[in-house]
Amino acid sequence: MRGQARVAAFSGVVLVLGAAGCGARNGELFDEVLASPGIGEPSSEPEPAAPEPAAPIEEPPPSGDPTPGEAPLVGQIPRVIQPPAAPEPAPPDDPPSEVGPVIVAVSPEDGARGVANDAPLVLTFSEPMDQASTEGAYQSELVPSRSVVFSWNEDSTELTIAPGEPLEYGVGSAVELAEARRVSFFISASASSAAGEPLDRPYEFSFSLLRRVAFAVPALADRAMSGNYRSNDSYGTGVCAEGEVNMCVGDVRVGGQSEQYKGFISFELAAPLPADSRQVSAELSLQLSGTSGNPFAGLGDLLLEHVRFDEIGLDAFAADALDTLGPIASAGEAGAELRADVSAPLLADLASLEALSQYRLAFEDATNGNRASDAIISALETQRLDVSFLVP
């Protein structure tokens, strides 16, 4: 194209190409322009300064860590990737050590509650023991070695320590007032096996005894419930009258006839016994305030019966007994105290949820027919029911 030039660049050489035209020198086909020294003719132009190196391009760090083993991206500071820690090898097992005999069982169990006061202590060992050193290693304040009996089984692996006599229970008049006694005993490491190895360590055990609840129930001071009655359908006269505070049992002369006296005692059962109570006992006691004539010689034994009645009267006098408890006395004089075990009838009354536990007294013979008074007299204030039971 006329009047136009084309520029081509080859490896730093710039060529300006043009066509012949107006103003061109005759026969000149082209001009050369050197783009850099050393190619063609030397240039008189000074050599240009080398360009400044370009600053590295910063790129944002990638969202995740590079895959281990790959090079990080340009501009990223590589992070050190820690390989997962290998599990530490298990320490070698300790070599087996020599272990002395051990106590493998004890009775009563350590910390047991509600243990009977005559329970033996039983120790079981892992191997046969030297009896003398083991017995010498036993210590206890409440059950000292001087008061026990030691015995062994045939293999010398079981030691039984029996108290010489029953221990004392803690006693209170109510469950919440009875404190349990704690028994502790020790086996020191001076005990050794039959092979001469000492006990692996000292041992200490303890347990608590049962508690005894004991209280007295007075006879009801109600003349319809505690007193006497005669076979002629009358309450009585003199010291045996309804207005008095005595109980008369025996016979008496009334209008030329001998009439029989029977005595009655009632005790109020205020509340049932605890469900876990055991060894329940009850004892009825009364004191002879005086006698008339010679009742035991003339009328035989004084008998006690378990009865139930609504009030003292002829029906109560004649009613069949629930249970005949046997003689409470075969002799007695003023000041004597008579006692009888009434545990069974008391438990029967408690089981049937009775409000009262009631008893009747009569001599073996109703009367001796001598028309003379032969009787015992007991003041109501001396009559009581002593109740006792054990709880854990």
The confidence band for 271, taking pLDDT boundaries of 50, 70 and 90, is confident
Task: Evaluate if residue 168 carries a pLDDT over 80.
Answer: yes
Average pLDDT estimate for 230-235? 97
Average pLDDT estimate for 33-51? 44
> In CATH, what class is 103-208?
mainly beta
Q: Return the HEC string of the chain.
A: CCCCCEEEEECCEEEEECCCCCCCCCCCCCEEECCCCCCCCCCCCCCCCCCCCCCCCCCCCCCCCCCCCCCCCCCCCCCCCCCCCCCCCCCCCCCCCCCCCCEEEEECCCCCCCECCCCCEEEEECCCECHHHHHHCEECCCCCHHHEEEEECCCCCEEEEEECCCCCCEEECCHHHCCCCEEEEEECCCCEECCCCECCCCEEEEEEECEEEEEEEEECCCCCCCEEEECCCECCCHHHCCCCCEEEEEEEEECCEEEEEEEEEEEECCCCCCCCCEEEEEEEEEECCEEECCHHHHHCCEEEEEECCCCCCHHHHHCCCCEEEEEEECCCCCCCEEEEECHHHHHHHHHCCCCEEEEEEEECCCCCCCCCCEEEEEEHHHCEEEEEEEEC
The confidence band for 144, taking pLDDT boundaries of 50, 70 and 90, is very high
pLDDT score, position 110: 97
The answer to which of 67-76, 133-142, 232-241 has the lowest mean pLDDT is: 67-76
The rounded mean pLDDT for the chain is: 84
Between 2.60.40, 2.60.120, 1.20.1300, 3.40.1360, what CATH number should domain 217-391 receive?
2.60.120
Residue intervals of the chain classified under CATH 2.60.40.3710 are 103-208
pLDDT score, position 86: 63
The answer to which of 30-34, 261-265, 347-351 has the lowest mean pLDDT is: 30-34
pLDDT score, position 270: 85
Task: Evaluate if residue 28 carries a pLDDT over 80.
Answer: no
pLDDT score, position 39: 39
Residue intervals of the chain classified under CATH 2.60.120 are 217-391
272 or 263: whose pLDDT is higher?
263
pTM score, two decimals?
0.69
